[in-house]
Amino acid sequence: MSEVKFRISEFLKLLEIIKKISNKNQTIVSSTTSLRTYYAQLVFEKSLLNAISISKLIPSNNDEERYKYLDVSSIASLTRNLIEIHHVFNYFCERNITEEEFNFRMYLASYHSSMTQDRIIDRLGIPPKNGLFSTDFVQSTIKLYLESSTVFSTLSEVQKREILKGKHAFLFERISKSITPITKKQESGVYNLLSNSVHSYPFGLNNYSNVYVRDHLDNVGLAFISIEIGILFLSSIVKEYLFLRKKLASALSNEEKSEILEISKINLLDSWMHEKF
pLDDT in tens, 187-202: 999 999 999 888 766 7
Is residue 146 within 8 Å of residue 111, measured between CB atoms? yes
pTM, full prediction: 0.87
Q: Which of left, alpha, beta for 131 (phi over 0: left; psi -120 to 50: alpha)? A: left
> For residue range 1-59, what is the model confidence (pLDDT) as tens digits?
456 678 999 999 999 999 999 987 665 554 556 888 888 999 999 999 999 999 999 87
Q: How far is it, in rounded angstroms, from Cα 211 to Cα 208?
A: 8
Q: How far is it, in rounded angstroms, from Cα 159 to Cα 167?
A: 9
Angle (CA) 176 98 144, round 5°: 110
> For residue range 233-270, what is the model confidence (pLDDT) as tens digits?
999 999 999 999 988 888 899 999 999 999 999 888 87
What are the sequence ranges of the domains in the chain?
8-95+183-273, 99-174
